[in-house]
Amino acid sequence: MSVQDSNKNSRRNFIETTAKAAMVTAVTASHLSVFASNNKFAPVLPTNVAPNTSPAFIGTSFTQLPLPYAYTALEPFIDALTMEIHYSKHAAGYAKNVQDAAAAENVNTNSNLEEVLQKISSYSTKMRNNAGGHYNHELFWNCMKAAPAGVPSGVLAAAINNSYGSMDAFKTQFADAAKNRFGSGWAWLVVTADKKLAIGSTPNQDNPLMDVSAFKGFPLMGLDIWEHAYYLKYQNKRADYITAWFNLVNWDFVAARFEKAMQ
Ligand code: MN
């Protein structure tokens, strides 16, 4: 076991132990900032591990990674044809276009996408739309898994209960954010700079890491509410898609991001 792994395990053990003793205290005890300028989100995974299949996924590359499940895996809640078009056409398009934008704007594509997003006002509209689109989709695929979703556990569950009162109340607020976003966009659960959970939404392919976003934080999970994400099955019934989507949430992935963000 490497020193890094050992540290990670020690930290996890600490968090679990602390959570049992003092639940939400663990959430506020951390001193490292999510938004530190020297990027705390550099990849910490061994290079032989595909980062987007790991619950510790935090460093997003400029390349579209393989979908971590089959197109059929999310049925009946999201149908295979929607997944295929969404991944292989829409998301693949963002991935190609962000590479084109990076080439045109002298961005090193071996860096983390997060670094570009945090200063997106320095780049073109093409970069904003496609860096956002690519990041958001890479996150989105990993926020889902085959049903059933189960429930959050550990410090994330404690933080949700502390912030929203109950899981049901949390879901209602998140669904409202998704329903009330006019036009295309995303609904988010984030950790804010002062280490609190927050629910919000962004238009188009913006996201809460962007310096231009009115809603800011480190994204724990994002829900795609563009019509291309649901129209084949749900047509105009966005609310039904949102309700169904909760059957697919990969809470282990979301909880791992939360732990990472609170370090
Ligand atoms: Mn999409």
Q: Pull the structure tokens for residue 203.
A: 């238009």
- The reported pLDDT for the residue numbered 27 is 34
Q: Is residue 181 part of a domain?
A: yes
d(CA 231, CA 101): 29
Q: DSSP characters for 206-240?
A: --TTSTT-SS-SEEEEEEE-SGGGTHHHHTT-HHH
| pLDDT tens digit sequence for 121-163 | 999 999 999 999 999 999 999 999 999 998 998 899 999 999 9
Tell me, yes or no, whether 103 lies in a domain: no
- pLDDT surpassing 60 at residue 57: no
Q: Measured in angstroms, how far is the CA atom of residue 32 from the centroid of ligand 1?
A: 32
Range 40-53 average pLDDT: 35
What is the Å distance from ligand 1's center to 155 Cα?
29
Whether residue 92 is contained in a domain is answered as no
Q: Say if CB 187 and CB 199 are below 8 A apart.
A: yes
Nearest-angstrom CA–CA distance, 117 and 131: 7
Average pLDDT, the chain: 83
pLDDT in tens, 77-128: 999 999 999 999 999 999 999 999 999 999 999 888 998 999 999 999 999 9
Q: Calculate how far, in angstroms, residue 243's C-alpha sits from the geometric centre of ligand 1.
A: 17
Query: Over the range 241-262, which residues count as b (16 or more CB within 10 Å of their CB) and which as e?
Result: bbebbebbbbbebbbbbbbbbb
Name every residue whose Cβ is closer than 8 Å to that of residue 89 and which is 6 or more positions away in sequence: none
- Cα of 205 to ligand 1 centre, how many Å? 9
Residue 116 lies in a domain: no
Q: How far, in Å, from the CA of 183 to the mean position of ligand 1?
A: 13
- Residue 59 has what pLDDT? 77
**For a pLDDT cut of 90, what percent of the chain falls above it?**
70
Distance from the CA of 24 to the center of ligand 1, in angstroms? 34
Nearest partner of 209 among 188, 180, 194, judged by Cα: 188
Task: Give this prediction's pTM.
Answer: 0.79
Q: Is residue 238 part of a domain?
A: yes
Handedness of CA 66, 71, 75, 80 (dihedral sign): positive
Side by side, the strands of the sheet bearing 197-203 are 197-203, 185-191, 218-224
Distance 91 CA to ligand 1 centre (A): 6
Q: How far apart are the CA of 185 and the centre of ligand 1, in A?
A: 9
| Structure token pair of residue 204 | 């188009």
Where in the sequence is the domain holding 160, given as residue range(s)?
Answer: 154-261
Q: Which residues make beta-bridge pairs with 188?
A: 200, 222
CATH number for the domain that contains residue 174:
3.55.40.20
- In angstroms, the CA 131 to CA 206 distance is 9
Q: Which residue(s) pair with 199 in the sheet?
A: 189
How would you class 130 by CB atoms within 10 Å of its CB: exposed for 0-12, middle for 13-18, buried for 19 or more? buried
- What is the C-alpha to C-alpha distance for residues 111 and 252, in angstroms, rounded to an integer? 26
pLDDT digits (tens, 9 = 90+) for 193-227: 889 999 999 999 999 999 999 999 999 999 999 99
Measured between alpha carbons, how far is residue 100 from residues 62, 96, 171, 224 in Å? Answer: 10, 6, 38, 23
The predicted pLDDT at position 261 comes to 86
Instruction: Say how many Å lie between the CA of residue 229 and the centre of ligand 1.
Output: 5
Cα(97) to ligand 1 centroid in Å equals: 14
**CA–centroid distance, residue 63 to ligand 1 (Å):** 16
183 and 193 in contact (C-beta within 8 Å)? no
Sign of CA dihedral 103, 63, 71, 153: negative
Task: Please check whether residue 109 lies inside any domain of the structure.
Answer: no
Residue 241 lies in a domain: yes
Query: How many angstroms is it from 137 CA to the middle of ligand 1?
Result: 6
Contact 209, 117 (CB under 8 A): yes
User: With bands split at pLDDT 50, 70 and 90, how would you rate the model's confidence at 58?
Assistant: low
Ligand 1 centre to CA of 16 (Å) is 35
Q: What is the pLDDT of residue 8?
A: 47
- Measured in angstroms, how far is the CA atom of residue 226 from the centroid of ligand 1? 6
Q: Which two tokens stand for residue 106?
A: 């002298």
**Residues around the ion ligand 1 (C-beta < 5 A):** 224, 226, 229
Tokens of residue 230, six digits: 């649901």
Domains: count for the chain: 1
Residue 160 CA, ligand 1 centroid: distance in Å: 26
206, part of any domain: yes
